[in-house]
Amino acid sequence: MTAFAVPSNLAVSENGFLFVPTSGETFTLNKLGISIFKLMQKGADTEEIIDALLEEYDIDKTTLEKDFTDFVNQLKHHNLIEEK
Amino acid sequence: MEKKIYEKPAITKHHSGFMNKFGSSPVTTPKSEVDGVSVNAIADQYGSPVFVLSERRIRENFRNTLRTFKTRYPKVQYAWSYKTNYLNAVCSIFHQEGSWAEVVSEFEYDRARKLGIPGKYIIFNGPDKSEQALLKAIEDGAKIHVDHFDELYKIIELSEKTEKKPQLAIRVNMDTGIYPKWDRFGFNYENGEAMEALRRIVMQPTLKLIGLHTHIGTYMMSAEAYRIAARKMVVLANELFTKYETKLDYIDMGGGFPSNNTLKGQYLQAEQVLPTIEDFADAVTSELFRISYHGSDMPTLILESGRSLIDDAGFLISTIIANKRLSDGKKATIMDGGVNILFTSFWYKHKISPAQPTGLSTENSTIYGPLCMNIDVLREDIVLPNLKVGDRVVIHHVGAYNMTQWMQFITLRPNIVMVMEDGTTELIRESEDLEYIMSREKLPAKLSEFKL
């Protein structure tokens, strides 16, 4: 399964503030966004992330997969992650 | 262990220098009911998309507007603008409230007659009145508002053959300081055509001049323009009185009052920039009192506003078909109500609300309709909460024009439902089906067979 490379200089705060030191850009992540980003930093792959979230949240797998794919695309769009 | 409430993962990029102090906050408050009837229940029963009209709101709008004018001027009469929404149920509400009918074609004229409106309560406007339509209107005693000299001479010709005297007013166009000037309808005030037309009618013994009509524009954002228009109408009326001792039964100031929809390209929200109905009423009535008749002979003020009376009584319930990303990362949402049934989305930034509670995170999106056509865009930019496939939304302020100006294109036109004052719902126009559309077509015999 796909894992993600998160640049080591990126950190996300408890309330979801994300700062990119190289460009000066800043972002806000919502709660689920923070959880996913942190799991990615730990090296979790797509399947592990989906499984962990299904365990924790009241949501069906199809919706979660769609939303996850959309979220990953946005992170890639902003050059915040790369797929390994 | 109980699971946590889910909200779609989201990331928002921060922008500096883009703050808009006039901007409204994104719409996350759900619109879950219309006059107490659940939006989801309506869509479950009548399908999606579905238009919903509120009987209560129509009556309230009408009564409020009429009261606003009646407290300023003694004689006020409303005529419902059929083209704004000529569904029988809608017209009947206005007629129950005392409105006459204002029609602009033979088709609309026949609709009003079929609904039981006597000719004398029909105002017949518009540039295209056939000889057949004019004869009908003369016979019924309808109020015919003449648009051009060719029509006037046609009526003079007809009046010499008919027993009944045509009841005439002329439509006057004028410079009221606004752009664009609506000079394509009626006779111009400044160049003297209007007075010339009036003189011609007064001099013709087979005609009866009963009124003056103007309609200075649509979605008018200035009350001052109405003041100027009313002043010019009074000048004409006074001139008729002094020169020909002719008194008018009425002065028809038309319509054109805006609704609370924000126009495309309009920076501020509609509510922040539009004059109130009181402003319009003040402007019109204060000028009418300058007429040089004696008290009880004052002409009746006729009004024909449509949009401002019904726009906010109409809603379109629509369902999310899909979400996707455009090439630049922007979110796009496709819903099942498109520009084919929402003509006004070409010029309004319609407000769209979710029909159910949503999460707090929002995102700027483009809203597309279901048509496989590039033009099918309901909103180019709107900040909405995340909506899932199957979620319903409510599009606001769609009561004016959409249900008459819509087109049958690619898909069929949907049901129209009215929420009645007692909280029940009534189907007032059934959705079209394939049979209904095909029944008008004829297939030439030689084209009826083919082999692939």
B4–A26 CB contact, under 8 Å: no
Shared domain for B364 and B289, answered yes or no, is no
Average pLDDT over residues B328-350: 94
In a domain, B12, yes or no: no
Shared domain for B157 and B291, answered yes or no, is yes
Shared domain for B301 and B324, answered yes or no, is no
Shared domain for B278 and B405, answered yes or no, is no
Collapsing DSSP to helix, strand or coil, B124 comes out as: strand
Are the C-beta atoms of B439 and B354 separated by less than 8 Å?
no
Residue B17's pLDDT is 61
In a domain, B16, yes or no: no
Residue B27's pLDDT is 62
Instruction: Specify the CATH number for the domain of residue B133.
Output: 3.20.20.10
Residue B446's pLDDT is 95
Q: B59: which 2 tokens?
A: 């009556």
Location of structure tokens 């083209």: B83
B53-112 pLDDT, tens digit each: 999 999 999 999 999 999 999 999 999 999 999 999 999 999 999 999 999 999 999 999
ipTM field: 0.92
A33–B10 CB contact, under 8 Å: yes
Shared domain for B337 and B238, answered yes or no, is no
Residue B168's pLDDT is 98
Residue B19's pLDDT is 56
Ranges B2-11, B217-226, B249-258, most confident: B249-258
Question: For an interface test with B, which of A19, A23, A30, A62 has the most B Cβ atoms less than 10 Å from its Cβ?
Answer: A30
Q: How far is CA B384 from CA B64, B182, B260, in A?
A: 33, 38, 20
Q: What percent of chain B has pLDDT over 70?
A: 97
Element housing B93 (H / E): helix B88-96
B330 has a chain A CB within 8 A of its CB? no
Of A28, A66, A68, the CB nearest to B12: A28
Average pLDDT over residues B163-182: 92
Burial (CB count within 10 angstroms: exposed 0-12, middle 13-18, buried 19+), residue A46? middle
How many Cα atoms are found within 13 Å in the side-chain-facing hemisphere of B112? Answer: 31
Nearest CA in chain B to A34: B9
Domain extent listing, chain A: 4-83
What residue numbers bound the domain in which B426 lies? 33-52+313-434
Predicted confidence (pLDDT) at residue B206 exceeds the cutoff of 60: yes
- Amino acid at the residue B124: F
Location of structure tokens 């995170």: B361
Residue B283's pLDDT is 96
Shared domain for B423 and B393, answered yes or no, is yes
Shared domain for B130 and B266, answered yes or no, is yes
Which of B260, B282, B311 is the C-terminal boundary of a domain? B311
B15-66 pLDDT, tens digit each: 776 555 555 566 678 999 999 999 999 999 999 999 999 999 999 999 999 9
Shared domain for B267 and B412, answered yes or no, is no
A56–B12 CB contact, under 8 Å: no
Of B4, B13, B361, the CB nearest to A58: B4
Q: How far is CA B254 from CA B78, B209, B212, in A?
A: 10, 18, 10
Are the C-beta atoms of B98 and B80 separated by less than 8 Å?
no
- How many domains in chain B? 2
Q: How confident is the model at residue B444 (pLDDT cuts 50, 70, 90)?
A: very high
- Round the average pLDDT of chain B to a whole number and report it: 94
Of B5, B7, B11, the CB nearest to A75: B11
Interface subset of B 5-24, CB within 8 angstroms of A: 5-14
In a domain, B15, yes or no: no
A20-34 pLDDT, tens digit each: 998 889 999 999 999
Q: How confident is the model at residue B441 (pLDDT cuts 50, 70, 90)?
A: very high
Q: How confident is the model at residue A6 (pLDDT cuts 50, 70, 90)?
A: confident
Angle at B254 between CA B181 and CA B286, to 5 degrees: 95
Q: Please tell me what DSSP assigns to residue A3.
A: B
Fold of A4-83: Arc Repressor Mutant, subunit A (1.10.10)
Location of structure tokens 């996850």: A68
Q: B42: which 2 tokens?
A: 């309506």
Shared domain for B223 and B334, answered yes or no, is no
Shared domain for B287 and B347, answered yes or no, is no
Spatial distance between the Cα atoms of B14 and B355, rounded to a whole number of angstroms: 28
Q: B74: which 2 tokens?
A: 């003694």
Shared domain for B259 and B317, answered yes or no, is no
Question: For an interface test with B, which of A37, A53, A59 has the most B Cβ atoms less than 10 Å from its Cβ?
Answer: A59
Q: What is the longest distance spanned by two Cα atoms in chain B?
A: 92
In a domain, B2, yes or no: no
Shared domain for B211 and B236, answered yes or no, is yes
Contacts of B3 in chain A (CB under 8 A): 56-58
Residue B77's pLDDT is 98
More confident call, B1 vs A56: A56
Which of B311, B326, B341 is the C-terminal boundary of a domain? B311
Predicted confidence (pLDDT) at residue B448 exceeds the cutoff of 90: yes
Nearest CA in chain B to A76: B329
In a domain, B248, yes or no: yes
Spatial distance between the Cα atoms of B55 and B35, rounded to a whole number of angstroms: 9
Residue B266's pLDDT is 80
Instruction: Specify the CATH number for the domain of residue B384.
Output: 2.40.37.10
Are the C-beta atoms of B300 and B75 separated by less than 8 Å?
yes
Report cis status (omega within 30 of 0) of the bond before B9.
no
